[in-house]
Structure formats: structure tokens, C-alpha cells
A and B are shown apart, each in its own frame.
Chain A
Amino acid sequence: MIPVKFDYLAPTSVEEALAALGEHGDEAKILAGGQSLLPVLRMRLNAPEVVIDLGGISSLRGIRDDGDAIVIGAMTTHHDVRDHALVHEHALLLAKAAAEVADSQIRHRGTFGGALAHADPAGDLGAPALALGAQFVIAGPGGTRTVEADDFFVDLFETAIGEDEILTEVRVPKHTGWGAHYEKFVRVAHQWPIVAVAATVKGSIDEARVGLTNMGSTPLRARATEAALAGASATEDGVREASELAAEGTNPPSDLNGAAEYRQHLARVLTGRAVLKAAGAQ
């Protein structure tokens, strides 16, 4: 299918991109890896007059060490997140989740920032970012601000990024040495998760962070589960009670792949499995 005609801009700096955004306002759309935007344009679900491609802004790409956090540029691809040594050392959960996104072609085009900005509740990176307490660095006409993970995801396909703003990088607090597992439940490979559970644990088990994918209009944290896991033993019996709490407060969708009730059941089962695998016990 052919998109409606649009103008294409390729700024080489964030300032330039912000200026273009300021000028064209809601007639414009940002293009990162295009793996969500291009289908939208091709199916004519949206028809922006201007597309602003961030691909030429090299400062938005790459991963660096910044003291107690690692910093991932918005334009870093899923493939690079999956393979980067800093991610493996300090935020293993992200590497595990990035490995589960779609297929190899899409992982080489799709970006970390694009996926988070798109905020598909079935996207694989929101729940891990939330579980790790990531901070989102957003640039706008008035400068740069940082938004906490808990405030970033607002609703279905809606984030704290304003109309005239760009997500530039994501700071992920170091979870050095934490075990991690991303348990993704699909019917066919290369599918968005029906439900997925992102779990990262310190020791077995001193502390745990558990994020849920596709269990509501935004990624969610299973806080009751996290609390119950502190000090639990990494055995099936040890985590059973905690995983039973995983669906508390969730509001999953019902669609062709499963009714809400079934998703809640899955969240409980998969949480137990994810936590045990994160703790190296399965």
C-alpha cells in the first residue's frame, strides 16, 4: 500500500529536529526505525504532511556508562541493545527482552526510543524499562527534562512526551549482577506477546522487580508480587504465593488471542516461571 504523500526532513542535530517539529507542529511525525510508523502510514491510518527522520542524528545512537546508570540513546537499535556489553552487565533484563522483539530484520531497524515512544502496551520493552526504573530524557523547545518511568507511560500509545518534544535518551539505573528473564507468551514466533513477564532478581531472592506486558493500557509493575518476593526462596513453592498476586490491579485487553481472564491467569503462571528463571532456578 502506498502512503499519502508527505515531505521528508532529515535533520542532523536534535536542535534542528526540534525546530522542524516546532515549525510543523501537529502536521509532523517523527520517524525513528519506522517499524511502527511505516505500517501506520502505509495502511493510511495516519497521513502527516511532514516526516522528520531522526536517523541522521548520530548523537542519539549508542550506549554509554554514566556512573550509577547506563544511558541508551533513543536511536539505538533493538539489535544493539540486545548485544551490548554494558547492557548485559548492568541491565540484563533489557538484553533479554530486546532479543524477543519480532525478528532479526525488525531488530536491526527498530529502535529502543521508538518502541518506548510508540507505547504499544504489547511492546516488549516497556515492562523491562519500567521494572528497572528507567528515566526518560526528553528534549523540547525549553530544554531538557527527565521523566521517571512511573510517569512516562500515560495510556494506550500515549506517553509523557509532549507534542513539540523528542525522546533523546533513556537512563537505566545499574542492576549489576542481577539475574533476569523475559518470559514471552506467543502463539507464533515473531508475534507481539499475548502476555509477557519481565523479571529481574538480586540474589535468590533478596530483591525482585517484575514488569508486565500487555496486562493493561500501559506496561505495569507487579508491586504486590515484588514485595512478596523479597526474601522468598527461589523454588516453585517459594514463589507460588508471590506469583498468585501478579494479576492484581491489572486490566488486560480481550482480543483474538485471549480474553482478559485468560491473560490474568497467564500473568500468574508466567510470573512464577520468569522469576525462577531469573534466579537461575529453572
Chain B
Amino acid sequence: MTATQDRPAAEIGKDRRRKEDQRLITGRTRWTDNITLPGMLHMAMVRSPFAHASITSVDTEAAKASPNVVAVLSGKDFGAELGVCINAWPITPDQKTPTHSPMPADRVAFAGEIVAVVVARSAAEARDAAELVDVEYDELPAVIGIKKALEDQVLAHPDLGTNKSALWVFDSAEAGTGSEVDAAIETARADGILIEREYRQQRLIPAFMEPRSVVVDPTGEQITMWSATQIPHILRFALAATTGVPESKIRVIAPDVGGGFGGKLQTTPEEWIAWAVARRLSKPVKYTETRSESLMAAHHGRDQVQTLTLAADKDGKVTGLKVHLDADLGAYIAVVGGGVPVLGAFMFNAIYKFPSYRFECQTVLTNTTFTDAYRGAGRPEATYAIERLMDELAAEVGVDPLEIRERNWIKHEEFPFTTIAGLEYDTGNYEAATRLAKESFGYDALRAEQKERRDRGDRVQLGIGVSTFTEMCGLAPSRVLGSLDYGAGGWEHASVRMLATGKVEIVTGASAHGQGHETAFSQIVADRLGVPFEDVEVLHGDTQIAHKGLDTYGSRSLVVGGEALVRAVDKVIDKAKHLAAHLLEASEDDLEYNDGRFTVAGTDQGIAIQELSTAAFAAHNYPEDMEPSLDAEATYDPVNFNYPHGTHLCAMEVDTETGAVKMRKYTCCDDIGVIINPLIVAGQVHGGLVQGIAQALWEEAVHDEAGTLVSGSFVDYLLPTSADTISFDVVHTDDPSVCTTNTLGTKGVGEAGTIASTPAVVNAVVDAIRHLGINDIQMPCTPERVWRAIQGSKAGGATETPPDAMPHFKDGALNQDEGAGQ
């Protein structure tokens, strides 16, 4: 297949402003919380303040007596119709999986878990009454933190007998992709370089802009659920599979959704409870979480301890990599919970040629919010580890970090290349991306300034961080998912409807939640079909309209969904050609198709595809051997992942007196194949970078020993704003290495910035102060950690900051405070 197009590309490559933005940005659209149905009731949740406790009693009398309360229900009021929250990806056959009831009747396993629901005529009345539900708990010991969990002293779920859920292993010697890693380690220990590190991937909170919201209407023939979700199709399947309602009786709609970042790739207790309550009461219900609930109970991401051993020869050529991950699942195994760290298995070797590799992932259960996908999902963690290690190796060998990478990376003439983890990288050009990034960054000048500041002993030191990343995206070839025991496939579906007036509706099974699919997909169709951009409408996110699909995550929409679309469009053109030949009384062989018009070669006779749409609609004259329709659909299952890559360079200034860090310059050169819309790509790269930088510098979900989320508001969970970032220098190679496994030559870009940037930033911070004897700062690199590292008071800056929140909104003993409202 080829990326070059037969038709002129008027739209592909154009900086189109996103057509969906006006309605999204002004809010004049259908967010789930904007939906109001006749007779709709509102729900408020009662949540456990304890991380681990038995529920001894739930007294709902006072709440039931509260004004306009319709029902108060706790776990024991429901039977099997409540369903369960599923884990769709058991990573091993013997994985220990605790039952995850949406509303447990007997025992809670994390702070924020729902124990009762109040249904009232208004949201305010539901909230008031929720405070009157009297739940008695018997507190149980809670296990918080990976290392504690591994001890198996305190159990997150006593009946399981252990906190260890599953151990997943990949070994290159066993798989036949490489040699024995332990042998490489022994050789390096004797006569080479061995780098042994423990890195911490702190827990993050996806923090999408629109809080989760769900509306259920049980009054029609199909029960309809609107949800602020990334995955309407998976959600429908899971509802059918767990609540006993036939799939054909379920309609799920993801209306406009305000961001997800993986955080809405979930089937949630809140959705299941809304479903059950609506069915029980036969009335429409709505639930919208507060921001506090969102931070506490929507799934978290990352949270791993990585134990790493990198073996190399004296020249810095890597001979082996051994990875042991301990990954915190939280209290339950969420929909793809255990699978997320396992995705990393394929990415620790990154862009390098390692002869031996072993990866182990031990998942553990704790009494904290369950974890699952967060932008990059498994790949940022892997990329962080290897890119940090490559900088450490460079320091050990005493060469530039770019040099050490070049000694190990796959050369552009070596593609396609089968990696030690068993993936086949189709294309790539690390040399080109690195050259361009270096140039744009001003690498040599910044290195000179670094040296000058170091020599001068300047208070502010400069560091340069490198990250040459790749990722596997476009989830996913269904057979690969099958081999990993994932519960679904990875194909995507699209259909094209040629309307009577010549306009075009396309339907995609991808489910955009802010990415700009409507614009990008319209551009693709406009070019391929030869119709004006404005004539294309993109429909998605409603199972009655887009009946088939696997939704949006894993940088898959364009590379998988876009390819399904291309194939459906090509089928339309084939049908149209047959009709055109009939109407023009010409042979199909003599027809040329350009700019949306069939012409008979060598004549001025022709007909436009939009005219053919009308002709097919009228159906007055069409060939005997075809149906009077040009519509077509396609289901595409990718044959491989695709492998965007890039070189990211970051310069950080470190104030050695205070430990404060400040970004000076950030350049990235991403090779993402053919670009459909540069403006949308820039948006994805910028946003991705900020989320990755935020992990390096700011964000961290912290629980105290009792399991309370201390960083439970944006006062303490530090989400950056535009005021905290600089203007990024985003460049792309002129001659990208296009993806060879899809027609358009595109690669994913949704997660690239997040995957690449975190190690670039931390490498830069460490580089600034490495001459002081520092080789690590734990993330996030807070000023205090940097300062402590400089003080040398604790190696690695791995200080335990006391888990306390800043109490700005604690109502103190100010004049009228005492007793108010009590």
C-alpha cells in the first residue's frame, strides 16, 4: 500500500480550524449534564470516608423523610440486576480478581466507594438528603502503597488471602526473540557497565475538564443511557453482559464529551447504579459528580515501582535490560486495569536494539481508588524508565546522551525491524528526527551555556534532557489482543451515507471527546470522495447511529477508524462508478475519477458523484445488477500497530538555593507520518506535552496512611495552566517515515507528547545538578525534593513529604464561625 494519493490532496495537510469548537467552547451543546428529560429525578451518592471497613448498618429513615426524596437505596436493596463492574483484561489465567460490586452491601475497599444512593426531585435535595444517610462502619486495617501491599501483612481483600493479583512475564530467551538477560547482567557486572535503579511512577489523576455524568431513560423500547464516556460501544456490551438486559434493548449515547485522557475509558459504578435505579423506579435519572468526587472516585493512573537493571559493555552498547514492575491496581481491577502496565512490556526496549530482555509485572491490590488507563497507558511508564536509564548510561560512559542513544538505536536503513519484544516496527528515522530537533533546539549553544554556568558556579544551573521515544499505537490488531487475553478486538467500523441531495454523512465507531475527529474525518472524506469539506457530516457516539465500533483510546481513531473510513469511501466510489458508467453509457474502464467527478476519457462527458447520489435516490435509471444505493460500510482490523517516534529536547533551569525548577526551552520533532490537519496535531502535541511535563513537575495523587486522598482538590493536586508552561518549539520532519500499514500513511499522535516529555524534563533537571553528585530526583520534581537532593540529606531526593493538604478553605474560628449551621 502507498501513502501517495491518486487525487489531489486539497484538504489533507490543511490547517482547518475545528468545526466542532464553536459549540464545544461556548458550551451550547449537549454535555450529558445539560440533558433534562420530563420527570427526571436526580441522584446523589453516599460514599465511604474509610478506605477499608465493614458496613454494619445503613439507616435511611431521615434521608427518606427529607423533602422531595423519592428513594434511598443501599447495596442490600439491590439484587443481581445491579450487575458488576467488569475486568475485561485478566492478564493471567490465575489472576486474583476481587468481585467489584457497584455498591457493596457488606464491605468497602477504598475511600470514596459508594454505599448508598439518594434519589430526589432536584440535585440539591438529593445532596441535602445524602448527608442524612447514617452509615455505621467497622473500620478494618487498610493497606496503602505498593511496598506495604507486597508484604501481605494487611490485606486489601482478606478473602483473597493475598494482595498479589497476577505476575505477567515476558522473557526474550523463552520467547526466542533474544538471549538470556541474566547472562548479560553477569558479564556486565564482571566487565562492563551495570545500571541498577528503582524509579517511582507516582499515581496521577486524569482530571478531565467535564466531570463524569450519566442520564438513564428507561421509558422507551430501548433503555437509553447518556454518559460522559469515551467508550459507548464497550459500555453497551458490558451493560448487556452484566445486568441481564438484552443488548438490543440498550442504547448508549456519548454526547459531546469534555475530555477523557483515558479517565473515561471505564465502565463505572456510577453508571451501573444509575442504570439500576432508573429501571427500579421506571423514571429517568441523572447523576453528575462533583469535582471532589471525580478526584476521589474516578479511576487514577500510573502508580508503579520500577526495578530496573541495564547491562552494557564499556562502550555503552546495551547488552540486556531486566524490568520488574510492581503496579498498584487500587481496590479493584478496573476494565483494563491490569493490562495497562503490561502494555509497557513492548516498549521498554523502545527504539533500541537490545539483545536480551526480561519483563515482569506484578500487580497488587490496595485500599485505594482503582487505577486504569491514563494518556499513554503503560507506554509513558516504560519510556520514562528506559530514557532515564539511557541518560544514566551516557553519564557512566561519559558521552553525550544523544551519542549513547545513537550507538544503540535502530538505524533507518534497518527497517522493518523486529524488536526484542516481538513487534515489527515498519518504518522510522531516528537520525533525521534527532538532527532536526538538535538544530531547532540550539543544542550546542545550550550545552556551551551549561558549561559556562557550571564553571562560574552560577546559582542557577542549566540542564539538558533528552528523550528519543517511540510508541506502539493504533490499538490494536485483534489477534494480538486475543493472544494477550483481552476481552475484545481492536477493529473499527465506518459507514458512508450518500444523501439524496448529494451531501454526505459518515458514521464512525470511534468516539471523539475533544480530539477533533469531525474536522479531520471530514477532510479525509472530502479529499478521497472529492466533495466539499462543508458537505461532509461526521456522526458518532450513539449506538443507534454508529451501531458498531470500539471507541476512542490508544491513539487509534485516525489510524484504525480513519482506515475503515477510507475503505468505506472506496466502496462508495466503486458503486458510483458502476452507476456512472450506466448513465454515461460508457465502459467502466473508460471512466476517470477526479475531484468528485467521473469523466469518459477523451470526451467532455461526465457526472459528479453528488449527482450520482441523487440519481441513486431517485432510482429511475440504474443497472440491473446493483441496488439503488451508493452507501457502503467497512470494518477494518489493523495488521500491525504503528510506531510514531520523535526526539524531544528540554532545557531546565534549577535554582540551587531554593530547588525551584523552570523550563527554559522545549523542542520536539515528532515523526507521525502523514499529517491530516497540522493544527489539530499541534493541539494534540501541546496538550500531550503539558500532561507529561505535569507528571515530571507537579501532579501527584497522595494518600495518607489511613487511605484518605490528601490531594483531593485542585489546591493540592497541582494541575498546571497555560501560565505554567512556555511556548513549545514543535517541528516535524519534511520527509516523514510514513506508516506502511494504512492507506493514508498516518501514525497516532494523541499520546506522543505525554509519553515523550516526562523523561526529557526529569533528565534535564538531573543533568543540571548531576555535577553535584545527584543521579535522580523522584517525580514530581518538587522544589523541596530538588533542594534536599542538593543538600544531600537524602540520596535521590526521595523525601517523604508529610501528607497534609493546605487548609485554605477550612472554616476556622472566625467571628461567626462557631456553631454556624450546626
Contacts and interface: CB of A to CB of B under 8 A. Distances in A.
Decide whether A and B are members of one complex: yes
Interface of A: 1-2, 4-5, 21, 25-30, 36, 39-40, 43-49, 103, 117-120, 122, 155-159, 161-165, 185, 187-192, 194, 253-259, 262, 265-266, 269-270
A46 B811 contact: yes
A105 to B, nearest CB: 12
B292 A1 contact: yes
Interface in B717-771: 718-721, 723-724
7 contacts: A5-B124, A45-B809, A163-B816, A164-B815, A256-B801, A259-B802, A262-B788
Contacts of B799: 259
Contacts of B220: none
Nearest to A120: B808
Given A26-B816, A46-B817, A189 B724 contact: yes
Nearest to B293: A1
Contact of B711 (A256, A258, A265): A256
B38 interface: no
Given A2-B127, A188-B718, A262-B784, 6 more contacts: A1-B290, A40-B809, A157-B810, A157-B817, A159-B815, A189-B724
B812 A269 contact: no
B290 to A, nearest CB: 4
Contacts of B398: none
Contacts of A1: 127, 290-292
Contact of B658 (A30, A156, A191, A269): A269
Most buried by B among A39, A159, A162, A258: A258
Contacts of B657: 269
B814 interface: yes
Contacts of A5: 124, 128
A44 B131 CA distance: 10
A24 to B, nearest CB: 8
Most buried by B among A49, A157, A254: A157
A256 B702 contact: yes
A27 B820 contact: yes
B782 interface: yes
A2 B123 contact: yes
Interface residues of B, number: 53
Interface string B634-674: 00000000000000000000000110100000000000000
Contacts of A258: 782-784, 801
A189 B816 contact: no
Contact of A257 (B658, B697, B782): B782
B78 interface: no
B660 A185 contact: yes
A28 B820 contact: yes
B815 to A, nearest CB: 5
Most buried by B among A28, A49, A257, A266: A257
Nearest to B804: A255
Contacts of A43: 292, 713, 809
Contacts of B35: none
A26 B821 CA distance: 8
Nearest to B817: A46
Contacts of A164: 815
A268 B429 CA distance: 51
B622 interface: no
B818 A26 contact: yes
A106 to B, nearest CB: 12
Contact of B698 (A25, A49, A188, A253): A188
A159 B814 contact: yes
A40 B713 CA distance: 12
Contacts of B123: 2
A187 B783 contact: yes
B416 interface: no
Contacts of A269: 657-658
B809 A161 contact: no
A63 B339 CA distance: 62
Contacts of B719: 188
A240 B807 CA distance: 33
Contacts of A39: 808-809
Contacts of A185: 658, 660, 783
A192 B782 contact: no
A118 B821 contact: no
B457 interface: no
Contacts of B93: none
Given A26-B818, A46-B817, A188-B720, A254 B812 contact: no
Contact of B816 (A28, A103, A191): A28
Interface in B288-334: 290-292
A269 B715 CA distance: 25
Given A2-B127, A161-B814, A187-B783, A192 B808 contact: yes
Contacts of B697: 187
Nearest to B290: A1
Interface string B259-299: 00000000000000000000000000000001110000000
B787 interface: yes
A25 B711 CA distance: 34
Contacts of A25: 816
Contact of B815 (A47, A122, A161): A161
A207 B153 CA distance: 61
B292 A256 contact: no
Contacts of B718: 187-188, 191
Given A158-B814, A259-B784, A188 B721 contact: yes
A227 B362 CA distance: 60
Contacts of B446: none
B819 A26 contact: yes
A192 B820 contact: no
A261 to B, nearest CB: 9
Interface string B770-810: 00000000000011100110000000000101111111111
A253 B660 CA distance: 19
Nearest to B661: A187
B716 interface: yes
Most buried by A among B127, B803, B815: B815
Nearest to A268: B657
Contacts of B711: 256
Contacts of B808: 36, 39, 120, 122, 192
A117 B713 CA distance: 23
Contacts of A254: 801-802, 804
A165 B818 CA distance: 14
Contacts of B787: 262, 265
B724 A156 contact: no
A236 B784 CA distance: 23
A258 B698 CA distance: 13
A189 B721 contact: yes
A4 B821 contact: yes
Most buried by A among B123, B128, B801, B806: B806
A47 B124 contact: no
Nearest to A191: B718
B610 to A, nearest CB: 49
B784 A48 contact: no
A107 to B, nearest CB: 14
Most buried by A among B710, B716, B787, B812: B812
B8 to A, nearest CB: 46
Contacts of B811: 40, 45-46, 157
A45 B720 CA distance: 26
B813 interface: yes
Contact of B124 (A2, A45, A48, A190): A2
Interface string B686-730: 000000000001100010000000110101101111011000000
B810 A45 contact: yes
A213 to B, nearest CB: 12
Contacts of A159: 814-815
A38 to B, nearest CB: 9
Contacts of B820: 26-29, 46-49
B132 to A, nearest CB: 12
B809 A21 contact: no
B815 A165 contact: yes
